[in-house]
Chain A
C-alpha cells in the first residue's frame, strides 16, 4: 500500500518536473526533452518582436544560440526588446518553441520586500 503510494508519487513528480534551461542548453537537450514542458531562459532579441493573431512571436538568445518563440496570449507589461525572460512551454515539431507563460526576470536592484511580493513575482505575470 505504502509502496504503491510512493511509486505513484515518484512517477507523477517526475512527469511534472519542469527543467530550467538556457537557450544553448535547451537546444542541446531538445532531442531528449521531446514534448516535455521546460523553462527557456534568454534575452529578447531587439527588433524580433511581432504581434500574431493570438499573441507574439520573438527570438530569444543567450549570446550563443537563438530560438524563435511563439507565445500564446499577451506578453506581460515588462516584456520588451532586450528584456531577460523565461518562457514556459514545449518544443513544437520544428525548431520553434511554443510558450504559454512568460516570466520576467527581475533586475538585480529589486529586493524581496515581503513573502507576498515574492509570491506575486513567482510566475503570475502571464497566464
Chain B
C-alpha cells in the first residue's frame, strides 16, 4: 500500500514536471502571459509530490515495512531511530529521492522569489530548465532507480544499513549537506541557460542568482568538511582526505563554483568574462552530475566487485545532453557574448581574479584527470590501474600555494590599474608579517618548502584581512562597514577559514607520526612524548553488533590525559569488522587511537597510535567558512554595484518571447 502511494507520488511529480515544461514552453512560444503564470505553479506541485514521496519512504522506514525492497536492504528492526530516519540517504534509490526533494525545494523558493516576474522570459526559461532537470530525476525514480520496488514476500527482518553508516551521528548531516550543495547549483545553471536562450547575458542573471550560488557553495563547503570529519572520526585510517574518487567527486564542482563566485565579481564590476562565467556555471552543474555518475554507477574502484547499477548509462546520457546543450548554446551565441570591458593592467584586481580562475580551473582539471584516468585507460587500453596519491599531492600543492598567495594579495589590489606606491602602502605590513611567520616556522623546525610557504602566506593573508577590518573600523565603525558591504567582509571571513584549513593541512600532512604498537595488559609504549598504556579490554554483545573495545590510558610527562577506548565492532550479516577510533582532540595536536586487532590468544592487542598536529583547526576553519558565507548572505544596505559602461551596452535588447530555440 505504501509502495503504491509512493509510486503514485512519483507519478504525480513526473506529470507535474511534464505539464509545467509543456505549459511554459507553450506560453513562451505564444507569448501568453497567462500560460507563463500557470506554468510556474506546477513547481509547487512538484515539491508537494516530492514531500509526499519522501514522507511515504520515511513512514515505511519507521514502520519497518520490509515488503519494500529498499527498506529491507537498509533497515532492520533493531536499527536505532536516528539511523532509521537517515536510512533515506543510506543507498542509491533513497539518495535520489532526497535529491528530488531538495531540487523541488530550490525550485519552489526560486518560483516564489520571482513571483512578480513570472512573465519575464528569463525567469520562465529558468523555471523551464529547472523543471527539465526535475523531470530527469523523477523519471529516474519511476524507472531504473525506483525506491518503492516491492519484494514478493517480505522478510521477517531487514538487512540494516551498512555498518559504516550507523556508526556515527555525523552520517545524519554530511550527505544532506552535500546534496543541498550539489542540487543548489541547478538554480544558477537554469538561469545561465535562460540567459543564453533569451540572449540577455548582461549582468542581470548574475545578480538574480548571486545568493542561490552562495547558498549552494556554503552547503557544499560544509558538506565536504563534514565528510572529511566523518572520514577522520569513523573510518579510522588516521587521515581525512585520500583523493578517493568519491571525495574528488565532491571537490570538483566546489573548485569550479569557487572560481565562479570570484569571477562573477569581475563581470559585475567590469562586464567582462561573460563566456567564461557561463561556462563555469554549466561546468559546475555537469560536474555534480559527473560526480553522481562516478560514485553511483560503480564504474570506479574496479577492485571492489560491487553490483553494477543500471543508472550509470542513464546518468552519462544526461551528462552528455547537458554538456551538449550548454556548449551548443554558447557556440550559437558566441558572437554576441563578446564583453565590453577589457583588462587594463596586469597588476589589478581583475587580473588577480583572472589568475585565480585559471588556477582553480587548472586544479579542477588536475583532479578530474587523476579521477577519470583509470576509466579512460580501461576503456582505451583495457588495463586496470589506479592513480596514486602522490600524483594529486604533487600537482595540487603548488597550485594551492599560488592560490593562497593570490588570496592574500588580491584583496589589496585596486581595480583597473595600480601604482607601486599604493601597493607598498597596502601590502608592506602584511608582507612583513608573512616573512616573520616563515622565519618563525623555520626556527621551529619546519623544513619542507611548501609548508614554510604556507605558513608565510597564511600570515600574509591574515595581515591583509586584519588591515581591511581595521580600515572599516576607522572609517565607518565595524558594524556599519560590514553592513554596508557584507559580501566583502563575509568573503574576508571565509578567507580566514581557508587560512585555518591551509595551516591544518600543511601541518598534518608533514608532521604526522604514526605507529603500531603491540601491547599486553599493563604494558605501555611511548609515541612522540605520549605514553599509552593498555589497561584491558571489554566485549559488549548487543543484538545489533558485537563490540570489542580496549581501554587505553594516555599520559604526557606524567599528566594523565584520560582513558580512551578505540573499538572494533562486528555486525551480523556482514563479515567486515568496523573500527571505531578514539581521538583525544587538542588545540595543538590530536592523539588518534585505533584498535587494529583485538586481543589474541596471549591477550595481546595491536593499537594504532597517531599524533596528528593541528587537525582541530581544519574543522574550525570549515566552521569559519560557513559563518563567512552566512555573513556574505545577509542583506546589505547597499546593492552590489553593477557595471554600466554605456547606456546602449547595459543590456542587450530583450529578444521577443518565443525566440528561435
Contacts and interface: CB of A to CB of B under 8 A. Distances in A.
Contacts of A9: 366, 369, 395
A77 B244 contact: no
Given A39-B386, A116-B230, A86 B303 contact: yes
A119 B231 contact: yes
A122 B244 contact: yes
Contacts of B238: 127
Contacts of B385: 17-20
Please classify how large the interface on chain B is, using the bins under 10, 10 to 19, 20 to 34, 35 or more: 35 or more
Interface string A100-116: 00010111101111111
A121 interface: yes
B366 A113 contact: no
Contact of B387 (A13, A73, A77, A114): A13
A32 interface: no
B362 interface: yes
A39 B231 contact: no
Interface in B451-498: none
A50 interface: no
Contacts of B520: none
Interface string B587-628: 000000000110000000010100000000000000000000
A70 to B, nearest CB: 16
B164 A120 contact: yes
B242 interface: yes
Contact of B307 (A8, A103, A111): A111
B518 to A, nearest CB: 9
Contacts of A17: 373, 377, 385-388, 391
A4 interface: no
Interface in A67-123: 73-74, 77-78, 86, 103, 105-108, 110-123
Contacts of A122: 242, 244-246, 301, 303-304
A103 B377 CA distance: 21
Contacts of A111: 73, 306-307
Interface in A1-41: 5, 8-9, 12-13, 15-20, 37, 39, 41
A78 B92 CA distance: 26
A65 interface: no
A77 B597 contact: yes
B384 A19 contact: yes
A23 to B, nearest CB: 14
A21 B235 CA distance: 27
Given A78-B575, A123-B303, 19 more contacts: A16-B390, A16-B391, A17-B386, A17-B387, A18-B385, A18-B388, A20-B386, A74-B597, A110-B305, A111-B306, A113-B161, A114-B89, A115-B95, A115-B246, A116-B230, A116-B246, A123-B244, A124-B242, A127-B237
Interface of A: 5, 8-9, 12-13, 15-20, 37, 39, 41, 73-74, 77-78, 86, 103, 105-108, 110-124, 127
17 contacts: A9-B395, A16-B394, A17-B387, A74-B516, A74-B606, A78-B576, A78-B577, A105-B303, A105-B304, A105-B305, A113-B73, A113-B74, A113-B90, A113-B165, A116-B164, A116-B171, A124-B235
